[in-house]
Chains A and B, each alone.
With several copies, the nearest count.
Chain A
Amino acid sequence: MKILYFAWVREKAGVSSEDVSPPAEVTTVGALMDWLGGRGGGYTEAFSDRKMVRVAVNHAHVQADHPIAPGDEVAFFPPVTGG
């Protein structure tokens, strides 16, 4: 599973992308955030204020209850500020 980070979520996590293999019980975006943030350091900081982190799965905005599968591309980022 490919994980991408953008803007200050990227800066806090300290990486812009990584390949991960979460355990089988991690089946939703919310559970993935718990698992990724549980690794400590910058990851914990990146997910500390969950309300400020938005998620996209395979290029589509989703909510925390959205299911995830091994081949997915999951991105974490702050609310968007383009335009």
Chain B
Amino acid sequence: MAIRVQLEDFDVGAELERLAAGNHGIGGVALFVGLVRDMAGGETIGAMELEHYPGMTETELERIDAEARRRWPLEETLIIHRHGRLEPGERIVLAAAASAHRQAAFEACHFIMDFLKTRAPFWKKEETPGGGQWVDARSTDDTAASRWSEKERAAE
């Protein structure tokens, strides 16, 4: 249940080690690592600038994390999101969910990423040969997030 918003890179192996340390009730950890790509919509990306809303970012990530823990029996969770200038290949985000069983870990990690994509206040500006360009939100991200609320309705 840790949330971190930072300029610096993170060490996935060390974070996993810390997450699971001493908790032998954990049977599986699902992780997602987002990386900067060098192409988007046919354009070459030299780098990207990640702007965010300090204060709200942490609050919103905590809300998403709390909702994941309400929905699934999780032993541990972790969300790290970087901001600032990032080059292709660099790590942007890490989401991890640890549970006794793998289905809960997988679903919670996927849920966290889907909601982070549509609710956490980050904005990407890509450096392309034609200049800086704000990334458009993708409708597929809204679709991905909405399937979790459908699941909830179906379960009621």
A1-13 to B contact mask, C-beta < 8 Å, 1/0: 0001011100000
Q: Are A7 and B125 in contact (CB under 8 A)?
A: yes
Residue from A7, A59, A82 in contact with B55 in the complex, judged by beta carbons closer than 8 Å: A59
Determine if B113 is an interface residue (Cβ-Cβ < 8 Å).
yes
Q: Are A83 and B122 in contact (CB under 8 A)?
A: yes
Determine if A79 is an interface residue (Cβ-Cβ < 8 Å).
yes
A interface size (C-beta, 8 A): 16
Q: Are A81 and B135 in contact (CB under 8 A)?
A: yes
Residues of chain B lying within 8 A (CB to CB) of residue A6: 51, 53, 121, 123
Determine if A80 is an interface residue (Cβ-Cβ < 8 Å).
yes
Q: List 11 A-B contacts (CB under 8 A).
A: A6-B123, A59-B59, A75-B56, A75-B121, A79-B118, A80-B117, A80-B137, A82-B117, A82-B120, A83-B92, A83-B93
Report which A residues bind B (CB closer than 8 A). 4, 6-8, 56, 59-61, 75, 77-83
